[in-house]
Amino acid sequence: MSFDRQLRLGMVGGGEGAYIGNIHRFASRLDGVWQLVAGAFDVDPARGRAFALSQGITEDRSYGTYQELIAGEKDRADRVDAVAICTPNFTHYPIAKALIEAGFDVICEKPLTATLEDGVALEALARESGRFVGVTYTYSGYPMVHDARVRVARGDIGAVRSLQVEYPLEWMATAIEQQGNAQAAWRTDPKKNGRGGSIGDIGTHAYHLAGFVTGLKLQALSADLATFVQGRALDDNAHVMMRYEGGARGLLWCSQVAIGNSNGVRLRVFGETGSFQWFQEQPNELVYTPLNGRVQLIKRGADDLSEDAKVRTRTPPGHPEGYLEAFANLYAGFGEAIRARHAGRDPGPLGQNLPLAYDGLKGVAFVEAVVDSAEGDLPAWVRPVAR
Ligand code: NAI
C-alpha cells in the first residue's frame, strides 16, 4: 500500500464545544498531509454523530463511540491511517490501547495518561507493537524552538548551567469548575485529570519544552504545590526545583491562577558563554545574548537558521506564524514519520525530533514525582531569623 497519498485521520473526542479538537482539525488540514474522514467526537454518541456529519464526514464513518470507530474502520480498504485522541486525560489509555491493539497508529493528547501505571503500560504497548504514537506537546512544533535546540546542541551558549521555564495562565483564577465550565470541571477532578492539577495540565508542556531545547535529562526534583482556589481538589500553582544530570539546575513555574497571563510560555536557558530566551507570545523571535556581547534577536525566516527551523516555516519573515502553524508542524511531522516507516526509509527532518510515547511517559513520570515530592514536604523549610 502506498502512503504517498493524503493520510486518513480519525478523531476521538473534540466534539461540539470542546477545545483542542478544533485545533487538531485546523492543524491537520494546513499542509494537505491529512484528511479527517472518521470520528467518534463526543462522550454522547448521538451528539458525536451529529457533529461528525456537520464536519462533512460521511454517515457510515460518523461513529457514536470509539469502539464503533474501531469496528467500523478495521476492515475497510480505505481505513484511517491514524486516530487523534482529544479526550480528557483518564480516557487516553483505554482508547489508545484499544486502537493500538486493533492495529492503528495514534496521535495522543498530553498528558499521555492520567496515571503512571497507565503511562508505563501504554509506552510498552507502543514500543512492542511498533505502532506510531505521537504526543502533541505543542511547543515543540515552533520553528524557533527547534532553532534554539540546534543552537544549544552545537554549543552556541556552551554547557547549560541553568534554565527557567514557566507556563502561567489565569483562566482558573476563580472556581469556574463550579460554574459549569466543562474544561475546568474534569481538570479539577483527580479521577479524570490525574494527581497533578496545573502541573499535569500545563507543567508537562513546560517540562517537555525545557528538556527538548536543552537535551538535559532530569535527575531529581523538589516541588511545592499550592491550591489557591477554595474547594479545588488539585493544585493550581506549582514551583519545581530541578537538578539535571551533569549538574545543571532548573526552575519550573506553572499556574492556572496567574492573573494577567494567557498562555505566557517562556523558556530562558543560561550556558557558560551565552543565553537564549523564547516567549510563546513572540514566537517568531529567539533572543540570544553571547557573553560580553549584545542582545540579538534571531528571527524566524532568516537565511542563517537551522534546517530544522526552515522546514517548519511557511511564510517569509515578518508575516507572523504562531500556534496553529506550530501544531500543524507536529501533524506534518507525524505524517512524515508514518510515511517513512511505510516506505522503509529514514524520515526527513520534519519527521524527526517529534514528541513520541516515551516523551509522553516521561511527562507522566514527572507529574508523579512532583506530586510525591510536594506531598512528602521534601524541601527543608527554614525560617529566616534576623536579629
Ligand atoms: P474538552 O472537555 O474541551 O473536550 C473533550 C471532548 O472529548 C468532548 O468533546 C467530549 O465529549 C469528548 N469525550 C470525552 N470522553 C469521550 C469518549 N469516551 N469518547 C469520545 N469522546 C469523548 O477537553 P479539552 O480541553 O479539549 O482537552 C482534551 C485533551 O487535550 C486533554 O487531555 C488536555 O490535556 C489536552 N489539551 C492539550 C492542549 C495542547 O496544547 N496540546 C491544550 C488543551 C488541551
pLDDT-based confidence at 121, cuts 50/70/90?
A: very high
Which residues of the chain form CATH 3.40.50.720? 7-139+332-355
pLDDT digits (tens, 9 = 90+) for 10-56: 999 999 999 999 999 999 999 999 999 999 999 999 999 999 999 99
pLDDT-based confidence at 369, cuts 50/70/90?
A: very high
Residue nearest atom 15 in ligand 1 by C-alpha distance: 43
pLDDT digits (tens, 9 = 90+) for 252-309: 999 999 999 999 999 999 999 999 999 999 999 999 999 999 999 999 999 999 999 9
pTM for the model = 0.97
Asked if residue 87 has its Cβ within 6 Å of ligand 1, the reply is: yes
The full length of the chain comes to 387
CATH of domain 7-139+332-355: 3.40.50.720
Which residues of the chain form CATH 3.30.360.10? 142-316+365-372
Residue nearest atom 1 in ligand 1 by C-alpha distance: 18
Asked if residue 110 has its Cβ within 6 Å of ligand 1, the reply is: yes
Instruction: Specify the 3-state DSSP secondary structure of 130.
Output: coil
Average pLDDT over residues 327-335: 98
Contacts of 292 (CB under 8 A, 6+ apart): none
Average pLDDT, the chain: 96
**Residue 158 half-sphere exposure, CB side, CA atoms within 13 Å?**
12
Decide: 90 and 16 in contact? Cβ < 8 Å: no
pLDDT-based confidence at 82, cuts 50/70/90?
A: very high
With b meaning 16 or more CB within 10 Å and e meaning fewer, what string describes 202-224?
bbbbbbbbbbbbbebebeebbbb
Per-residue cell: 207: 517540562
Whether pLDDT at 213 is above 80: yes
pLDDT digits (tens, 9 = 90+) for 130-152: 999 999 999 999 999 999 999 99
First CA to last CA distance, the chain: 78
Helices 204-214 and 357-376: angle between axes, nearest 10 degrees: 120
Distance CA 59, CA 37 (A): 10
Please give the pLDDT value at position 1.
53
Decide: 46 and 64 in contact? Cβ < 8 Å: yes
Distance CA 378, CA 130 (A): 39
Q: Tell me if ipTM is over 0.90.
A: yes
Asked if residue 66 has its Cβ within 6 Å of ligand 1, the reply is: yes
Asked if residue 200 has its Cβ within 6 Å of ligand 1, the reply is: no
pLDDT-based confidence at 68, cuts 50/70/90?
A: very high
Per-residue cell: 203: 507543567
State phi, psi for 286 to the nearest 5 degrees: -120, 130
CATH architecture assignment, domain 142-316+365-372: 2-Layer Sandwich (3.30)
Distance CA 376, CA 340 (A): 46
Asked if residue 112 has its Cβ within 6 Å of ligand 1, the reply is: no
Distance CA 327, CA 139 (A): 8
Atom number of ligand 1 nearest to Cα 66: 19
pLDDT-based confidence at 357, cuts 50/70/90?
A: very high
The alpha carbon of residue 158 and the mean position of all alpha carbons in its chain are separated, in whole angstroms, by 27
Please give the pLDDT value at position 376.
86
Distance CA 224, CA 380 (A): 11
